[in-house]
């Protein structure tokens, strides 16, 4: 009980680790595609607005909750909302853990494609869809998934300072440098400015389309990682004097800056190579899905860039390494959250890490071997993140929003102070946005055939079925969860 | 010459979006530096 808790040793290491959580696959493979499908400039205006009214307030809430309770999600929800709500914390942990299971598969894809690029397989290829098919139909994704889980588990086994902090101190600056390098190349391509102009040109009629706003909220929520519970876990290892508001805003702005740079890179390249057809490909063609744009459409574009095969290979290799690094840094935080939740339930540290790695491998294996399973899990749990954000906001409301702002958020000396407006955003705007978003999603899902089918890949039935099992289980186990987490030192 | 071909709304959106995100980032970096 008296064991001293390990903390992030430096502010830079802490901030880079927070950025490691926020910057992930969502910035790279989802942002540009969603921007293209929702009108480019018309999309990024609401996207920036939601940065201020969803992501930043929730990130600040997470850092403050972590700073106050220094627990995993279950202990945090018990501390903030009361013992009756341990199940909410368990659900937050479940959603992020379920994402971890298939996210390590994505990390593996990134590294596999980095190696494909280095060995020239992508430059020589004419049919990128065939390469993707043959790769995903083999056992290779399982191997790369295993390697990702092993590496991530090793990082969290090394601890916060020597593992998480050191790794992020390498991954994030390297990722930023790589993005800058391909950014410079992309914007200097002939025709690149047409793509950048599309990216920043609003069509004002789109701003009256509610779908554009809902997609912008969804994207901002997913690409910043606000409300996932991951930042909360890292904040539990920050030194007490670490700022909450400045670090929270810094993380959010840096994350969105990465998304914008990635958008500029992808739109510049698409327009430079294919002109207007490049955007069409992202809207309805082969680049219209996360996987399609990353592993089929972009490698094809890289091959068409000026220069020889070596130049194409270098461009692709840097892109896929950046993708893999971004995804890996986020995956490490997911592993940490899961292992910490097991620790919070009374499992000894090394056993908790081993159990996390074991579960991540075995429960992620179906996603590595079946794209249908992967798609189902992505559909179910990525929407669950909005519920996570709502639960965290609920925790703050139960704690007392004004008390939370004054005594916790504004508790650090020499930090940017939050005004009264923060109370309204957390207690009114965040719940309103979350409820509208979930309601809209459900409404859309109800229009589809077989919406009730719990075993369909994409259906409301499968979402409610899987959430329902988790929620029912945790509600039944609520008292046990409280009992197990009480008095456990993390 | 490139600028002449770009619409005013594009320049305005670019300034607003990049200004708020990068401006916010630079402001926070400066604040964090001064905290030390």
| Rounded-to-integer distance, Cα A266 and Cα A262, Å | 6
Positive or negative: CA dihedral A428, A433, A436, A439? negative
Residues A246, B32: C-beta atoms closer than 8 Å: yes
- A187-196, A224-233, A279-288, A331-340: lowest mean pLDDT where? A279-288
Torsion of CA A142, A360, A105, A36, to 10 degrees: 160
| Rounded-to-integer distance, Cα A247 and Cα A425, Å | 19
CB A53 within 8 A of CB A433: yes
CB-based burial label for A415 (10 Å; 0-12, 13-18, 19+): buried
| Rounded-to-integer distance, Cα A487 and Cα B12, Å | 55
Q: Which of A22, A38, A39, A48 to mutate to test the interface with B (most CBs of B within 10 A)?
A: A48
Q: Kind and range of the H or E element at A165?
A: none
Mean of pLDDT values over A262-289 = 87
Q: Which residue shows structure tokens 């996570």?
A: A388
Q: Which of A41, A247, A256 sits opposite B10 (nearest CB)?
A: A41
Enumerate the residues of chain A whose CB falls inside 8 A of the CB of residue B31. Answer: 246, 416
Q: Alpha carbon of A265 to those of A178, A181, A185, A214: distances in Å?
A: 12, 10, 8, 24
Residues A48, B7: C-beta atoms closer than 8 Å: no
Q: Which of A246, A258, A268 to mutate to test the interface with B (most CBs of B within 10 A)?
A: A246
Q: Which of B9, B10, B28 sits opposite A253 (nearest CB)?
A: B28
Question: Is the pLDDT reported for residue B1 higher than 50?
Answer: no
Enumerate the residues of chain B whose CB falls inside 8 A of the CB of residue A219. Answer: none
CB atoms within 10 A of CB B6: 16
> Largest alpha-carbon pair distance within chain A?
64
B1 touches chain A (CB under 8 A): no
| Rounded-to-integer distance, Cα A257 and Cα A253, Å | 6
B25 touches chain A (CB under 8 A): yes
Residue A176 CB-half CA count within 13 A: 14
pLDDT score, position A162 = 96
pLDDT score, position A215 = 87
Per the document, the length of chain A is 490
In degrees, to the nearest 5, what angle opens at C-alpha A336 toward C-alphas A78 and A23?
105
Predicted confidence (pLDDT) per residue in A175-186, tens digit: 999 999 999 999
Beta-carbon contacts of residue B11 (< 8 Å; ≥ 6 apart): B3
CA distance A330 to chain B (A): 20
Per the document, the length of chain B is 36
Question: Is the pLDDT reported for residue A1 higher than 80?
Answer: no
Question: Is the pLDDT reported for residue B3 higher than 60?
Answer: no
Mean of pLDDT values over A222-251 = 93
| Rounded-to-integer distance, Cα A213 and Cα A426, Å | 19
3 state SS of A57: helix
CB A313 within 8 A of CB A123: yes
Mean of pLDDT values over A102-110 = 96
Mean of pLDDT values over A230-257 = 96
Q: Alpha carbon of A400 to those of A89, A424, A484: distances in Å?
A: 18, 12, 26
Ramachandran region of residue A370, left (φ > 0), alpha (ψ -120 to 50) or beta? beta
CB A345 within 8 A of CB A486: no
ipTM of the complex: 0.90
CB A293 within 8 A of CB A32: yes
List the beta strands (DSSP E) in A243-350.
Answer: none
- The two structure tokens encoding residue A450: 């077989």
Please give the model's pTM, rounded to 2 decimal places: 0.94
| Rounded-to-integer distance, Cα A372 and Cα A42, Å | 32
| Rounded-to-integer distance, Cα A321 and Cα A175, Å | 8
Q: Which residue shows structure tokens 């409300």?
A: A227
pLDDT score, position A200 = 94
CB atoms within 10 A of CB A442: 14
Q: Which residue shows structure tokens 């840096």?
A: A254
Q: What is the mean pLDDT of chain A?
A: 93
Give residue A278's pLDDT band: very low, low, confident or very high (50, 70, 90): confident
| Rounded-to-integer distance, Cα A102 and Cα A377, Å | 7
3 state SS of A230: helix
């Amino acid at each position: 009980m008296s064991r001293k808790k390990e903390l992030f040793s430096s502010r830079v290491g802490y901030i880079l680790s927070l950025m490691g959580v926020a910057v992930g696959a969502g910035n790279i493979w989802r942002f540009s595609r969603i921007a293209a499908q929702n009108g480019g400039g018309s999309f990024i205006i609401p996207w920036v607005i939601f940065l201020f009214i969803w992501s930043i307030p929730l990130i600040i809430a997470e850092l403050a909750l972590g700073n106050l309770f220094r627990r995993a999600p279950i202990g945090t929800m018990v501390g903030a909302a009361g013992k009756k709500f341990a199940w909410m914390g368990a659900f937050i942990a479940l959603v992020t853990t379920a994402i971890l299971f298939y996210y390590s598969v994505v990390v593996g894809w990134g590294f596999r494609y980095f190696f494909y690029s280095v060995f020239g397989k992508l430059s020589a290829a004419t049919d990128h869809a065939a390469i993707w098919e043959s790769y995903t139909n083999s056992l290779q994704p399982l191997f790369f998934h295993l390697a990702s889980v092993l590496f991530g588990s090793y990082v969290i086994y090394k601890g916060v300072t020597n593992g998480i902090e050191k790794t992020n101190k390498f991954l994030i600056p390297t990722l930023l440098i790589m993005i800058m390098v391909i950014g410079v190349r992309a914007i200097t391509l002939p025709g690149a400015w047409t793509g950048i102009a599309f990216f920043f040109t609003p069509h004002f009629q789109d701003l009256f389309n509610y779908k554009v706003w809902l997609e912008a909220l969804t994207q901002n929520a997913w690409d910043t990682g606000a409300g996932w519970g991951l930042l909360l876990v890292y904040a539990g290892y920050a030194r007490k004097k670490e700022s909450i508001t400045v670090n929270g805003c810094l993380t959010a702005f840096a994350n969105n800056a990465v998304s914008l740079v990635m958008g500029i890179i992808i739109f510049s390249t698409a327009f430079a190579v294919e002109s207007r057809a490049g955007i069409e490909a992202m809207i309805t063609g082969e680049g219209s899905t996360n996987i399609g744009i990353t592993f089929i459409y972009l490698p094809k574009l890289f091959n068409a860039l000026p220069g020889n095969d070596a130049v194409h290979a270098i461009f692709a290799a840097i892109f896929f390494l950046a993708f893999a690094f971004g995804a890996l840094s986020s995956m490490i935080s997911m592993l940490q959250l899961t292992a910490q939740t097991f620790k919070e339930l009374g499992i000894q540290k090394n056993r908790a890490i081993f159990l996390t790695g074991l579960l991540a491998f075995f429960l992620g294996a179906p996603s590595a071997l079946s794209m249908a399973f992967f798609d189902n899990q992505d559909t179910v749990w990525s929407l669950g993140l909005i519920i996570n954000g709502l639960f965290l906001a609920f925790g703050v409301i139960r704690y007392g929003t004004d008390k939370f702002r004054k005594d916790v958020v504004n508790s650090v000396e020499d930090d940017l102070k939050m005004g009264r407006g923060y109370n309204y955003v957390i207690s009114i705007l965040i719940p309103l946005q979350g409820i509208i978003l979930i309601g809209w999603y459900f409404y859309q899902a109800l229009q589809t055939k077989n919406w009730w089918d719990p075993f369909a890949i994409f259906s409301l039935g499968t979402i409610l079925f899987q959430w329902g099992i988790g929620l029912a289980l945790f509600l039944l186990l609520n008292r046990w969860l409280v009992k197990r987490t009480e008095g456990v030192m993390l | 010459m490139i600028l002449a071909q770009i619409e005013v709304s594009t320049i305005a959106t670019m300034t607003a979006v990049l200004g708020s995100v990068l401006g916010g980032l630079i402001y926070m970096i400066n604040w964090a530096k001064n905290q030390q």
